[in-house]
Amino acid sequence: MIFSEWLIVSLLVLVVLVFTMVGVVHSRGQKPSPDDFLTARGTADTGMLLSTFLASFLGVFILFTPPEAGAIGGFSSIIGYSLGLAGLYLILMWLGPRIRAYLPEGSTLSDFAQQRYGPWMQGLTTGLSVFYMLVHLVAELTAIALVIQEAAGIPLMTTALVVGAGTMIYTAYGGLRASMFTDMIQMGLMGLLLIIVGTGVVNSLGGIGAMAQASALGAPQLFRLNNAGGIEFGLTLCIAVMVANLFHQGYWQRMYAARNTRAIRRSLIICIGIAVPVMLMTGYLGMVAVGMGFADNPSAAMFSLVYALFPPGLMLVVLMLAVVLVMSTVDTLLNALAATLALSSQHVSKTWETASLIKMARWAAFFIILPVAVIASRGYSVLFLFLLADMLCAGVAFPLFYGLYNEKMTDMTALVASVAGIATGIPFFMANQLLLSFIMPMVTSVIVVFLGLSLGRRKGEGSYHEGGDIQ
């Protein structure tokens, strides 16, 4: 243990309380409609979207996953991961405005699935999205709980509950507006954190040149672009990031929160320019940690550097800023999950009144965070579940979104293609052939879609659910 338990718990509670109060005070006195609470429709300009997109995707993830990719696969993996992120933002630039135009009154991806295909694809999309976001939520709380435990021996449950409960309070109180407002503050602090870590590591290791030379000597395989294992891992990450995050409902909420299409596209272009270099930098620090002999656990490669090189005071700053970044991602996931469950319940039970949606969303946030914190307190590796969710998403993505571009696409064709895609990926996934487990579902679902369309049996397959003009 590096710090006393009392000190870290006090600082943890203080940081969480500050941001909880910021979110609550920002929302105090407002009486939002259900649509405003869940979607904040048409209120976010380019600056707001930029900060909330970055905070939603990066968060504390930037401190763990790219460094882990660098520590395992080196340059090739980092490049693949970064290309996957850039590809995701480019796809959202393309799909986001189109889905908004198709279903202007929508709020989540499940709304689109319901309107375009009907209840079966809506159920599959909702289940897949909820599973992915729950895994992501557990991963975020597990990661910060493990880091805090390593620093001060604090039980995982304590950190998971404090961070989870504080985030839940302002998210349930203020809805999406509170989440996006706190994202703006948290993004500024993320920039500060990255500057501290980057400059601190470089200075501690004697400059960029000395750091690069020593790291390359310690782990030369990571610095070779022709590293076969790194290339395969990078391609796997590239596909996983692009496909799985299309089912992150937080992104679709923000598409509807955008003031207009121009704001969406400008913010996502700037996101690429900021997020990709940040991922390359933090991924490289993971490689440095391995090369310098500090990364016994690749999942915490960056923190291994921090613990080995930084003085205690600077380490505390990094830890507390990491807590802030966790909250920025957790509030997005929690709000998106609550909105998805509330709106899906309304689809199932037509007797639900619109005014009850806010109450339903608030209770959903409360009931979600408790079991998630308990699971996070077990310290399980969520990599298996993450990869499983990614594989499932790879099988469903094309059939789901292709309906935007082909009005002959039917609900049964989309459903059969999705199930076939998932089925072909499972054997490769169980055999630990991860790249093939992502590629095969995508290829299979595309083939089945075009086979179904070529057969032209629309009346036998199902009905086309008209929800708007397909341009």
Instruction: Extract long-range pairs of 2-9: CB within 8 Å, 24+ residues apart.
Output: 2/150, 2/151, 2/152, 2/307, 2/312, 2/315, 3/151, 3/152, 3/312, 3/315, 3/316, 4/152, 5/152, 5/153, 5/154, 7/152, 8/148, 8/151, 8/152, 8/154, 8/319, 9/152, 9/154, 9/158
Contact 136, 333 (CB under 8 A): yes
d(CA 219, CA 290): 7
pLDDT band at 438 (very low <50, low <70, confident <90, very high): very high
pLDDT band at 292 (very low <50, low <70, confident <90, very high): confident
Per-residue pLDDT, 383: 66
Per-residue pLDDT at 184 exceeds 60? yes
List all residues 6 or more positions away from 431 whose beta carbon is below 8 Å from its beta carbon. none
Q: Report the pLDDT averaged over residues 170-192.
A: 81
pLDDT band at 346 (very low <50, low <70, confident <90, very high): low
Per-residue pLDDT, 350: 54
Per-residue pLDDT, 415: 95
> What are the structural domains, with CATH classification, of the chain?
5-381 (1.20.1730.10), 382-471 (no CATH)
Q: Tell me the per-residue pLDDT of 66-116, one tens digit each, with 9 for 90 and over.
A: 888 888 888 899 999 899 989 999 999 999 999 999 999 888 898 899 999
Per-residue pLDDT at 463 exceeds 50? no
Per-residue pLDDT, 319: 84
Is the backbone of residue 302 left (phi > 0), alpha (psi -120 to 50) or beta? Answer: alpha
pTM assigned to the model: 0.86
Residue scoring higher pLDDT (80 or 457) = 80
Per-residue pLDDT at 348 exceeds 70? no
Per-residue pLDDT at 51 exceeds 50? yes
pLDDT band at 33 (very low <50, low <70, confident <90, very high): confident
Q: Please, where are the H alpha helices in 28-118?
A: 34-38, 46-57, 61-73, 75-102, 109-116
Per-residue pLDDT, 422: 94
Per-residue pLDDT at 253 exceeds 70? yes
Per-residue pLDDT at 171 exceeds 90? no
Q: Report the pLDDT averaged over residues 27-40.
A: 73
Summary mean pLDDT of the chain: 84
Partners of residue 258 on adjacent β-strands: 44
Whole-Å CA distances, 19 to 173, 184, 317, 445? 13, 12, 16, 44
Q: Compute how many other C-beta atoms are within 10 angstroms of the C-beta atom of residue 362.
A: 18
Q: Tell me the per-residue pLDDT of 361-371, one tens digit each, with 9 for 90 and over.
A: 888 888 888 89
d(CA 223, CA 203): 21
pLDDT band at 157 (very low <50, low <70, confident <90, very high): very high
- pLDDT above 70 covers a percentage of the chain that reads 91
